[in-house]
Amino acid sequence: MNAPHRLLRTAVVRAIETSAAAALPPQELMRRAAQAAARRVMARWPAQRVAILCGPGNNGGDGAMLAACLHRLGRAVEVWRLAGGREPADAAQAWRECPPQLLRTGDPDTGALPADRSLLIVDALFGIGLARPLPPQAAQWADWANAHPGDVLALDVPSGLDADTGAAQPHAIVAAETLTFIADKPGLHTLAGPDHAGMVHVDDLGLGHTDAIGFDAPGLVTSGLGALTGPRDHPALFAPRRQDTHKGSFGTVGILAGAPGMTGAALLAGRAALRGGAGKVLVGLAEREPALPCDPLQPELMLRSADSLLDHGEQLGVTAWIAGCGLGDSPHAEAWLTHLLRTMPAVPLVLDADALTLIARSAGLASQLAARGGARVLTPHPREASRLLGADTAAVQADRIAAACEIARRFRAWAVLKGAGSVVASPEGGWTINGSGNPGLATAGTGDVLAGLLGALLAQGLDAASAVRGGVWLHGAAADALAARGVGPIGMTAAEVIDAARALRNGGGIPKPYRGKQK
């Protein structure tokens, strides 16, 4: 198994930084950060003039030392230094090393610099120490940088972005690339992070794969250690199939979904489960008598009434359940869900959409779920998560990792908090952020498709961690593959994601992470 691509909350980074700095000469870490940044500038922007915007703290100190490095390498560099703020010792030394002739006064946005592509702007205003709204002058400089047609390289964190949560202040820097130090940070990969950080590169400043576990402060709201998952982390998705198999070898998915008018949600989940590799898919439509005898575009799906499926699920050999897609929240729906939670307690269960709303509304259902055996997977979007937590959506989005971990804890389940950089929390308290996906998924039915893919992987016998983390990555990577060939993100449809996911599992080229349209 590859070493995990660690994501560390800033409290853990601070602890590592303090411990390492104590064993090194003064300013050594800052010097290494500046040298790492200089190497990156020389490699990716070999000819551009460089304007470095520096803040009052050590992030600014990184910038000042970078200026000295680039100047020694013969590069054209100009430095703007934000007035005010206390000056940490490391930064003070950095400014003593910055050649004074590089310093510019006034504001870069007064046209002091021609805004053209031959200029690289480096954001060294604020890093992990930003503790309140950007001061006006910094906001003004950030606006100028964001309006610049050329690239912006952010040091450690784009200024104005929260390195733990991905929350972006107004005026937060939008970078083409972020070079982050010591370890990668969750806020660069979830919520507004992907839009502001651009491509993220990590330099560990020579500290290696620090045993961050030792620094995981117990006082943290949630574990300070997580990981970013990518294609190399999900080998089970690509395991070759033996010849000597039959449809029973790949499990049977039972789906409770599709109230009148929402049949499409059930069919999307069913098609995703089938093309996600399940051997058989049974769809129990949430209506007294199914209006649809079969899915004409996918006749392999076996449609029946919800009652029939729930009454015969065991004999039919269901090995994974999915419930909620277009289920509705009627008393009938609640009764069917109650029945399902009592059925085949050891069989894995994916709960999405209306099933989550019903559970949030009923303490009885919630305790039934928590008491049920087998793997349980909840896939809320932020509003459904707010209902499960009894909080408001803004609170969920303010710390997506904490929200996902709390849902996982309360329901002793896997929790997938969907959105940019979906957070996957395990019942044991671990968390990962998914590194795939793009705005093409912000369209009707993609949640049904995700539920179908997860159910298919569980039905095929993948362990819950592999199925959930792998299924979430596969769903996003399918959207990235579509976007890479121009099928989206604008206008991408949920049905297209299904076939793209199947192609990836059968040797289709793994797409690069989507990083939006650069300037």
What is the C-alpha to C-alpha distance for residues 140 and 138, in angstroms, rounded to an integer?
Answer: 5
For residue 451, the number of C-alpha atoms closer than 13 Å in the C-beta half-sphere is 33
Residue 265, annotated ligand binder?
Answer: yes
Tell which one of 56, 187, 231, 471 touches ligand LZDS7PUF (CB under 6 A).
56
Query: Should residue 456 be labelled a site residue for ligand LZDS7PUF when binding is judged by CB under 6 A?
Result: no
Total residues in contact with K ion, by rule CB under 5 A: 5
Minimal distance, residue 24 CB to ligand LZDS7PUF, in Å = 9
Question: Rounded to the nearest 5 degrees, what angle is found at the Cα of 147, between the Cα atoms of 163 and 162?
Answer: 10
The reply, when asked if residue 106 is annotated as ligand binding, is no
Cα–Cα distance measured from residue 307 to residue 281, given in angstroms and rounded to the nearest whole number: 16
Tell me how crowded residue 283 is: count the other CB atoms within 10 A of its CB: 32
Q: Does 169 bind K ion (CB under 5 A)?
A: no
Chain residues 218-257 in contact with ligand LZDS7PUF, contact rule CB under 6 A? none
Strands of 152-155's sheet, edge to edge? 103-104, 77-81, 49-54, 119-124, 152-155, 177-181, 199-203
Binding to ligand LZDS7PUF, residues 76-105 (CB under 6 A)? 85-86, 88, 90
List all residues 6 or more positions away from 160 whose beta carbon is below 8 Å from its beta carbon: 126, 130, 134, 139, 142, 168, 169, 170, 171, 172, 173, 196
Q: How many CB atoms lie within 10 A of CB 114?
A: 8
55 lines the binding site for ligand LZDS7PUF (CB under 6 A): yes
166 binds, among K ion, ligand LZDS7PUF, none (CB under 5 to 8 A by kind): none
- Binding of ligand LZDS7PUF by 162 (CB under 6 A): no
* Residue 204 touches ligand LZDS7PUF, criterion: CB under 6 A: no
Strand bridging mode 423-425 / 431-434: antiparallel
Here the contacts of 466-469 (C-beta below 8 Å, separation 24 or greater) are: 466/234, 466/236, 466/237, 467/236, 467/348, 467/375, 467/377, 468/377, 468/414, 468/416, 468/424, 469/229, 469/233, 469/234, 469/424, 469/432, 469/434
CB nearer to K ion: pick between 157 and 360: 157
| Contacts (CB under 6 A) with ligand LZDS7PUF, residues 130-159 | 130-135, 155-157
User: Taking CB under 6 A as the criterion, which residues in 17-36 touch ligand LZDS7PUF?
Assistant: 17, 21, 29-30, 33
Is the Cβ of residue 77 or residue 413 nearer to K ion in the bound state?
77
For residue 349, the cross-strand partners are 321, 376
* Beta bridge mates, 200: 178
Q: Is 354 in the site for K ion (CB under 5 A)?
A: no
Whichever of 16 and 344 has its CB closer to ligand LZDS7PUF, that residue is: 16
- Binding K ion by CB under 5 A: which of 159, 222, 263, 446? 159
Q: Which of the listed partners (ligand LZDS7PUF, K ion, none) does 123 bind, with a CB threshold of 5 to 8 Å by partner kind? A: K ion
Q: Is residue 448 marked as binding?
A: yes
* Separation of alpha carbons 69 and 27, rounded Å: 14
Handedness of CA 213, 217, 219, 221 (dihedral sign): negative
Out of K ion, ligand LZDS7PUF, none, what residue 131 binds, judged by CB under 5 to 8 A for its kind, is ligand LZDS7PUF
Q: Which residue type occupies 294?
A: C
Q: How many of the chain's residues bind ligand LZDS7PUF (CB under 6 A)? A: 30
Element (H, E) at 434: strand 431-434
* Residue 37 interaction partner, one of ligand LZDS7PUF, K ion, none, beta carbon < 5-8 Å per kind: none
Does the protein bind ligand LZDS7PUF through residue 39 (CB under 6 A)? no
Q: Taking CB under 6 A as the rule, does residue 354 contact ligand LZDS7PUF?
A: no
Task: Choose the binding region for ligand LZDS7PUF from 49-57, 385-393, 403-411, 458-466 (rule: CB under 6 A).
Answer: 49-57
Q: Which secondary-structure segment (H or E) carries 473?
A: helix 464-484
Is residue 381 marked as binding? yes
Binding segment toward K ion, per CB under 5 A, in 52-60, 101-109, 180-188, 205-213: 52-60
Q: CA 74 to CA 300: how far, in whole Å? A: 67
Residue 480 near which of ligand LZDS7PUF, K ion, none (CB within 5-8 Å, type-dependent): none
Footprint of K ion on 97-156 (CB under 5 A):
123, 154-155
CA distance 169 to 233: 32
Residue 206 marked ligand-binding: no
Cβ-contact 357, 331 below 8 angstroms:
no
- Picked from ligand LZDS7PUF, K ion, none, the partner binding residue 374 (CB below 5 to 8 A depending on kind) is none
Q: Binding residue per annotation — 422?
A: yes
Written as six digits, the tokens of 425 are 């929390």
Q: Which chain residues interact with K ion by CB under 5 A?
A: 59, 123, 154-155, 159
Q: Which chain residues interact with ligand LZDS7PUF by CB under 6 A?
A: 17, 21, 29-30, 33, 55-60, 62, 85-86, 88, 90, 126-135, 155-157, 181
